[in-house]
Amino acid sequence: MTFTAILAALLLLQDPPEVVIEMSKPRQGGRNLGTAGYEATPQEAPFLKKVTEKRVSFRTAAKLPKPSNMTDEEWEKFEKAAEKQKEKELATRIPVDAYQLADQANEYVGWFGIVRESSTDEKAGMTTLTLEHKYFDGLVDLHQQIVSIYGAGDFTATLSKVQTGIPKLSLVRIFGKVAKGKDGRATIAAEYLRVWDWGLFAFMNYGKDKSNPKWVELRKTPGEKSYSSRPDSSYYENLLGARE
């Protein structure tokens, strides 16, 4: 056995580095409402740079009718330009209709999700989370984090930590490499988690909803009314269910 092979084997026997968990603080947006791009924290930034997954495209695939003030020649040029733009976008983005979590196996991702279930294995020093995936288009409010109430289904995450301090039904962003579990579900070996507790995030409605029906049944507020600029406990309970 070569020295390189021996070194690789020894590394596999070592315990994985402990996951980094960062609790988000209120955004410095005051009471002024507005929209901004997502900003990673200094701790989060190195993990965000590692993401290899293509972004999800939320653009509609509906075919537009020809406007009455356009000639056939103008419309043909417009359609060709639109098709080229679509091909260009598909090279860097995944249409939301075709997006599947398990298809992202071997990609490094930064997924958002609501913590639904948590179990620990103290002997192994591990925690496993079940999360309800939420779409994210890159935009947030000046004063709070925003994700879609819709998502692409459930996924799991394994954390090399037992006492995580992550509240149930909080919003998290998890960075790590995706694998497909034996049950076909996507799972992430988490390297970093950023957590938003109630009062620090809200929802909007975009993307094709592929959420677990078990969680959808808990929603008392329809998706088109899922946004609030000042969310309180009843807001989250009507969209996510009650905390136990």
Assess contact for 210 and 151: CB atoms under 8 A: yes
Residue 185, domain CATH: 2.40.50.140
Report long-range pairs for 55-59 (Cβ below 8 Å, ≥24 apart).
55/92, 55/93, 55/94, 55/138, 56/93, 56/94, 56/95, 56/96, 56/99, 56/135, 56/207, 57/89, 57/90, 57/93, 57/94, 57/95, 57/96, 58/96, 58/135, 58/137, 58/206, 58/207, 59/89, 59/95
Which residue intervals of 158-228 are DSSP H helices? 213-216
Q: How remote is the C-alpha of 2 from its chain's centroid? A: 41
Q: Is residue 121 part of a domain?
A: yes
The reported pLDDT for the residue numbered 29 is 60
The domain total for the chain is 1
Supply 242's token pair: 């009650």
Q: Is residue 199 part of a domain?
A: yes
Q: Is residue 61 part of a domain?
A: no
The reported pLDDT for the residue numbered 83 is 63
The reported pLDDT for the residue numbered 5 is 45
Find the farthest-apart pair of alpha carbons in the chain and give their distance in angstroms, rounded: 75
First-last CA distance in the chain: 54
Task: Kindly report, residue by residue over 79-136, the tens digit of the pLDDT.
Answer: 676 666 555 656 678 999 999 999 999 999 999 999 999 999 988 999 999 999 999 9
Partners of residue 195 on adjacent β-strands: 23, 172
- Going by C-alpha positions, the residue among 113, 107, 96 that lies closest to residue 56 is 96
Find the domain containing 192 and state its range: 16-54+97-240
Q: Is residue 88 part of a domain?
A: no
The reported pLDDT for the residue numbered 92 is 77
Q: Is residue 67 part of a domain?
A: no
- Residue 136 neighbours by CB under 8 Å, 6+ apart: 38, 112, 147, 148
State the Cα–Cα distance between residues 141 and 122, nearest whole angstrom.
39
- Going by C-alpha positions, the residue among 189, 191, 172 that lies closest to residue 180 is 189
- Going by C-alpha positions, the residue among 120, 99, 87, 117 that lies closest to residue 214 is 117
Q: How far is CA 69 from CA 65, 76, 78, in A?
A: 12, 13, 13
Q: Is residue 192 part of a domain?
A: yes
State the Cα–Cα distance between residues 4 and 204, nearest whole angstrom.
50
Q: Is residue 62 part of a domain?
A: no
Assess contact for 204 and 149: CB atoms under 8 A: yes
Average pLDDT per block of 10 residues along the chain, 244 residues long: 43 60 82 84 97 87 63 72 61 88 97 96 92 96 96 96 90 97 92 97 96 97 95 98 90
pTM over 0.85: no
State the Cα–Cα distance between residues 58 and 61, nearest whole angstrom.
9
Q: Is residue 156 part of a domain?
A: yes
